[in-house]
Amino acid sequence: MCGRYVLIEKLEAYEQRFHAKAFPAPPRVVLPHFNLGPGALAPVILNTDPNHIRWLRFGMTPFWAKKSMLLFNARSEGDHNSDDNPGFRGARGIITKPAFRKPIRSQRCLVIADAFIEGPKQEKLDKPYLVFIQRRPFAFAGIWDEWADPETGEIISSFAIITTTPNTVLQKIGHHRSPVILHENNERRWLQDIPLSEVTALLDPYPATGMNAYPLDKRIKHPRENDPTLLNPVGPSVVPEKELRIVQDLKLQGMGYTKRDDRPQQGSLELL
DSSP string, 236-266: --SS-GGGEEEETTS--SSSS--TT--S---
The string of pLDDT tens digits covering residues 109-140 is: 999 999 999 999 999 999 999 999 999 999 99
pLDDT of 264 reads: 32
Cα maximum dimension of the chain: 56
Report CA 86 to chain centroid distance, whole Å.
20
Q: How confident is the model at residue 148 (pLDDT cuts 50, 70, 90)?
A: very high
Give the residue from 165, 146, 141 showing the smallest Cα distance to 156.
Answer: 146
DSSP-assigned beta bridge partners for residue 113:
138
pLDDT of 2 reads: 86
Report CA 192 to chain centroid distance, whole Å.
20
57 vs 248, more confident: 57
By CB neighbour count within 10 A (0-12 exposed, 13-18 middle, 19+ buried), where does 260 fall? exposed
**For all residues of the chain together, what is the average pLDDT?**
89
In the chain, where are the structural domains located? Answer: 4-223
pLDDT of 89 reads: 85
Dist CA 105 CA 251 (whole Å): 42
- Compute the average pLDDT of residues 215-237: 96
DSSP-assigned beta bridge partners for residue 222:
none
Are 101 and 95 contacting, i.e. CB atoms less than 8 angstroms apart?
yes
Dist CA 23 CA 127 (whole Å): 36
Fold of 4-223: hypothetical protein yedk fold (3.90.1680)
Q: What is the DSSP letter of 222?
A: S
